[in-house]
């Protein structure tokens, strides 16, 4: 097993850093602070912060160069005008008074945008009621249900396996599904890993060109690489326990970027953005197709 250590890349001090997205054309990394309602970017060590009117929980690049986003109420478009962020709600799933909000988000290999919902307060803890939605043609439909804190969305290189996790302490599991690339329908749910194997709750995830699934194991300070059969073959240690999400980026897509959060972590490194140059390579993401 390979064990390596990540280093601080940006002293961002995010309350809840999340959703790192590498934009290859710009050679720029974007990520969010969900609690502070900000969008962060870094290029050539220059860190920028943009305020958001509507907090984002996950996002991806669109074909038009803008971003498609999962927000508190549903889905929105984000663009830049005169170096300022503009947001436009395109699908309102919950309304302002809802007990739900969106959480983790990702693109499948065909460019469909997926995001999960969670209950802000657990009204009925015995019956998880979060969904996983798919957005196409400005319409969202629920494809999976039964989640408390959905996370860990990712797809195998050929797009035929879909991964989803639930970070809630009472569940803390990852599943994989057979995925129909034409219809976008996941079937045949199979347990892939639990917190007993991971040593922490499964949070954000990505997949490399070998088809291995990378997961941020929250509360553990570790990023784990799992083979398609579920074996851990690499560990990245992060000097703060609350790791939240990951993505590959850099010139060769071999740098792994790691977001973290300050919440309940007095560690001086908590909330920073970390990076590690690896011997593996990420997959160039397809843009949102609309």
89-143 pLDDT per residue, tens:
999 998 776 788 999 999 999 999 999 998 887 655 567 889 999 999 999 999 9
The pLDDT assigned to 265 comes to 81
Domains of the chain in start order, with CATH, are 13-208 (2.120.10.30)
The pLDDT assigned to 95 comes to 79
Calculate the dihedral angle through the C-alpha atoms of 182, 109, 184, 145, rounding to the nearest 10 degrees: 170
The pLDDT assigned to 124 comes to 57
The pLDDT assigned to 125 comes to 58
Sequence-separated (6 or more) residues with CB below 8 Å from residue 274: 6, 7, 8, 9, 238, 239, 257, 258, 260
Calculate the dihedral angle through the C-alpha atoms of 201, 260, 242, 209, rounding to the nearest 10 degrees: 40
Q: Say if CB 16 and CB 216 are below 8 A apart.
A: no
Whether the predicted pLDDT of 267 surpasses 90: no
State in Å, rounded, how far the first CA of the chain is from the last one: 41
Backbone angles phi, psi at 189, to 5 degrees: -65, 130
Alpha helices (H) in the chain, listed in sequence order: 195-198
139-164 pLDDT per residue, tens:
999 999 999 999 999 999 999 999 99
Whether the predicted pLDDT of 192 surpasses 90: yes
The pLDDT assigned to 83 comes to 83
Name which of 90, 103, 92, 101 is nearest 138 in CA terms.
90
The pLDDT assigned to 122 comes to 66
Q: Say if CB 152 and CB 164 are below 8 A apart.
A: yes
Burial 162-188 (b: 16+ CB within 10 A, else e): bbbbbbbeebbbbbbbebeeeebebee
SS3 196: helix
Sequence-separated (6 or more) residues with CB below 8 Å from residue 148: 118, 119, 122, 125, 128, 130, 166, 167, 168, 170, 171
- Residue 95: alpha-carbon gap to chain centroid: 23
Q: What is the mean pLDDT of residues 224-249?
A: 98
Instruction: Please state whether the predicted TM-score (pTM) of the whole model is above 0.85.
Output: yes
The pLDDT confidence band at residue 172, using thresholds 50, 70 and 90, is: very high
Q: What is the mean pLDDT of residues 54-83?
A: 93
């Amino acid at each position: 097993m390979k064990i390596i250590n990540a280093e601080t890349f940006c002293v961002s001090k995010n309350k809840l850093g999340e959703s790192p997205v590498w934009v290859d054309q710009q050679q720029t990394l974007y990520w969010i602070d969900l609690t502070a309602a900000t969008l962060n970017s870094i290029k050539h060590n220059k860190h920028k912060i943009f305020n958001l009117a509507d907090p984002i929980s996950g996002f991806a690049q669109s074909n038009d160069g803008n971003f498609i986003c999962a927000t508190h109420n549903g889905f929105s478009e984000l663009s830049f005008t005169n170096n300022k962020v503009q947001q436009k709600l395109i699908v309102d799933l919950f309304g302002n008074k809802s007990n739900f909000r969106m959480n983790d988000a990702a693109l499948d290999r065909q460019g469909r945008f997926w995001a999960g919902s969670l209950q802000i307060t657990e009204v009925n803890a015995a019956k998880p009621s979060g969904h996983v939605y798919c957005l196409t043609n400005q319409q969202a439909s629920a494809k999976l249900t039964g989640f408390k804190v959905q996370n860990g969305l990712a797809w195998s290189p050929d797009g035929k396996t879909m991964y989803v996790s639930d970070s809630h302490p009472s569940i803390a599991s990852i599943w994989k599904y057979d995925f129909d690339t034409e219809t976008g329908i996941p079937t045949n749910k199979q347990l892939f890993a639990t917190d007993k194997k991971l040593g922490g709750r499964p949070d954000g995830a990505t997949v490399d060109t070998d088809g291995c699934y990378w997961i941020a194991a929250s509360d553990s300070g570790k990023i784990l690489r799992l083979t398609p059969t579920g074996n851990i073959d690499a560990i990245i240690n992060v000097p703060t326990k609350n790791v939240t999400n990951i993505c590959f980026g850099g010139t060769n897509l071999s740098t792994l970027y790691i977001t973290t959060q300050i919440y309940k972590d007095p560690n001086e490194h908590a909330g920073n953005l970390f990076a590690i140059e690896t011997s593996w390579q990420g997959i160039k993401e397809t843009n949102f197709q609309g």
